[in-house]
Structure 1
């Protein structure tokens, strides 16, 4: 199978549900060897078993991306199992929508820790390995809210996703010719992301919006596969996808 994906070792954070799970299943079906990290061990184990039963290769490690050591351990587990790592997908995220005037600083901290620092920890875990191997690919999941500020309610969330885009483009410039870098910016996609807010009114509004407009998570999985399967001299740096009906 020479599809540009088969045999590649792909690490995915936030892999126990949503985009992460769909991407793990899709890439494994295309022959990738997937290394799955998330906080819920039972969900990870079930997913790995499903992939193996379908003939794929997968390992997992319980991973909280707010811990630099746990993200490093996930990458190390992939290298131990498969000898290398080719792609790092920094997917874990939190969307805690609420008016900024509610001063939900705990939620702000969590979004910064997961959405920004978690991405940086993923990058830090693979860059030395990519340098040693002579190449690799970092894929960061941003959002359409990282292109246009989602306000009211998503001001801080947008701030974190703008940061992901900025970090991605800076990384691309610094490592041009050595490491491919991609920022994926989805609109409303079916996942647990919509349940992230502690504000009941905001959460209800977001859930209703997603019920009307969200597209399946495998929509993003297909976009990620397209990005990975390109020849080594081609880098897809940015992909924006949203439901056809979504205006924002």
Structure 2
């Protein structure tokens, strides 16, 4: 564990915390002193990560939930408030990336991405906004961090639904900041380029997976810890400082 305690006393909620970027954000927050609530659907993965964090001296708890279920997400938010206290940091990170080429229509892939990449973000926001506002009133600052993607502001052929869903997250964040900033709730939208996570493995089309993997020949992909470090930096800044949008790209990625 890091000896840093810059997030000590803060309750952090991380969705999509069972792997990849979400897992590393949760681990990094705990290493910096936060009490971390990990949300995702995979019970076994969450429990293993929590066990590892607590064995290293951190404070963490798992809350298995399907974030596309609004009522279940709100119920979990209530549990967290009762057990850990009001969330002062919420990282809405759950998401999926699937190709949606118009030449091979697969409606379920469209729906899954809208339900998770947009619906889960909305459900998380609805469930935790009141806690963030209360936390900011009590401590002077709170943070809402939404994970979008560089794809949300660029052209990503055959991944149009994914790109559009992330554009929603970017624009939502900018509007939320106008409402929540005056209440001392900072809103940050993190926009990663290509990161080595499970996202690529969710793609059923082997040709698409191969095409993406081939970019490693020319680009050194980011790793989840890169994003976790940036997010931890943003929420650890003085209360007067807000980084509304952060794009994080591999050095060699240009599009």
Instruction: State the TM-score, normalizing by the size of structure 2.
Output: 0.91
Query: 1:54: Cα distance to partner?
Result: 0.4
Output the CA distance in 2 between the equivalents of 1:157 and 1:116.
10
Output the CA distance in 1 between the equivalents of 2:225 and 2:102.
32
Does 2:207 match 1:201? yes
Match of 1:175, SS?
A: helix
Query: 1:77: Cα distance to partner?
Result: 2.8
Residue deviations 1:114-167 (CA, integer Å, cap 9, x gap): 00111111110111222334253110000000111211x111110000000011
Output the CA distance in 1 between the equivalents of 2:67 and 2:220.
29
Output the CA distance in 1 between the equivalents of 2:130 and 2:9.
21
- The structure-2 alpha-carbon separation of the partners of 1:48 and 1:27, relative to structure 1 and needing over 3 Å to count, comes to same
Tell me the residue number matched to 2:74. Answer: 72
Check conservation: 1:145, 1:161, Cα contact below 8 A: yes
- The structure-2 alpha-carbon separation of the partners of 1:96 and 1:233, relative to structure 1 and needing over 3 Å to count, comes to same
Q: Aligned pair count?
A: 247
Does 2:179 match 1:174? yes
Query: 1:210: Cα distance to partner?
Result: 5.3
Output the CA distance in 2 between the equivalents of 1:170 and 1:210.
35
Which among 188, 192, 196 is matched to residue 198 of structure 2?
192
Which among 109, 112, 136 is matched to residue 111 of structure 2?
109
Output the CA distance in 2 between the equivalents of 1:70 and 1:149.
34
Unaligned runs of 5+ in 1: none
Tell me the residue number matched to 1:213. Answer: 220
Residue deviations 1:180-231 (CA, integer Å, cap 9, x gap): 1000000111210112223332233223335753221100000000110011
Match of 2:181, SS?
A: coil
Identify the range of structure 1 (46-55 vs 133-142) with the bigger mean alpha-carbon deviation: 133-142
Output the CA distance in 2 between the equivalents of 1:27 and 1:117.
25
Does 2:228 match 1:228? no
Residues 1-248 of structure 1: pairs in structure 2 closer than 5 A: 4-133=6-135, 134=137, 136-151=142-157, 153-178=158-183, 179-209=185-215, 213-248=220-255
Match of 2:12, SS?
A: strand
Output the CA distance in 2 between the equivalents of 1:27 and 1:167.
24
Query: 1:6: Cα distance to partner?
Result: 1.8
Check conservation: 1:38, 1:61, Cα contact below 8 A: yes
Identify the range of structure 1 (208-217 vs 59-68) with the bigger mean alpha-carbon deviation: 208-217
Output the CA distance in 2 between the equivalents of 1:4 and 1:52.
18
Instruction: State the TM-score, normalizing by the size of structure 1.
Output: 0.94
Match of 2:61, SS?
A: strand
Output the CA distance in 1 between the equivalents of 2:40 and 2:46.
7
- The structure-2 alpha-carbon separation of the partners of 1:55 and 1:2, relative to structure 1 and needing over 3 Å to count, comes to closer
Output the CA distance in 2 between the equivalents of 1:229 and 1:144.
23
Aligned alpha-carbon RMSD (Å): 1.7
